[in-house]
Each structure stands twice: as C-alpha cells, then as structure tokens.
Amino acid sequence: MKKILLVLAVLFSTFLFSQSEYRSVSQLPDYEILKKKMKLDDVVTRADTPPEFPGGMENFKRQFAEKMDIIDVKSKSIDTKVYFIVEKTGYVRSVTATGSDKKHSDAAEAAVRRLFVKWKPATVNGEPVRYLYTFPLTLKKS
C-alpha cells in the first residue's frame, strides 16, 4: 500500500517536469557525469523549435508514469534529473538519470527507455538538431 501511495503522490502532487534553459551543455550541473555517458557532440539545449512528444507533454507524463516501476523509496526527498537526447530522426537515445536515490534514478531511466515513441525533432533554422532534453523528478515526503 505504501508503494501505491508513493506512486500516486509522485504522479499527482509534486511530480515536476520542465526543460532547463541552459545555454550550453557544459553549463549543466551534471555535465561531468553526462560527458562520460553520452556523445554530446553537436547537441543543443536550446532550439528555435523544441522537440515535441506526440500528444504533448501531458501525454508524455502519463506514458512515463505508466512505464515507471513502482519502487520503495526510503529517503525523505527525491531529486532526480533525467537527461536524454532526442536525435535528428526524432528517436530518443542516451538516457541518463542522476540523483540522490539510485533506485529511483534507475527506474526513471528505464521508464524513458520503455517509451518507444518517435518525437518531432527540435529544429534550428528549420533544420533538425540533436537536442539534450532535461527534466527533474522531485518528491518531498512529509
């Protein structure tokens, strides 16, 4: 029951998704970790048109939540950042999550990998680009 309540709390109260507005990849707080795990050549974090998930971000959130494993979190708060690259083709590659709770980070990575959906790619000057998408997953338990 605790696990179900945790998932519901995460999904309906303090589950935050947002794209960060860093000007370059090297400005990301987790840059040192990312450069070891991802090919960051020619990746952008800002574009004229950002990538779009089919059906919008609400659809992405719903599908992400459906794919995420239920985990038992022991910490009082979760602060996970999930990074992935939306390629020029629209497919997601190189998923990496960082955070204080390893099990939560692993579950978030797996959930994004399970979404086999083609995005509309980001564009700069009308041309598709590799885009590093970032979103935080935050939960504060009382």
Residue type, 55: G
Beta-bridge mates of residue 132:
85
- pLDDT of the chain, 142 residues: tens digit per residue: 444 434 434 443 334 334 444 457 777 878 888 888 888 889 999 999 999 999 999 999 899 888 888 766 666 677 889 999 999 999 998 999 998 788 888 999 999 999 889 999 999 999 999 999 988 887 766 5
Q: Please, are residues 78 and 137 in contact by the beta-carbon 8 Å criterion? A: yes
Overall number of domains in the chain:
1
Q: What is the pTM for the complete model shown?
A: 0.77
Using DSSP, state whether 137 is helix, strand or coil.
strand
What domain range is 35 assigned to?
A: 2-140
- Whether 7 contacts 73, CB under 8 Å: no
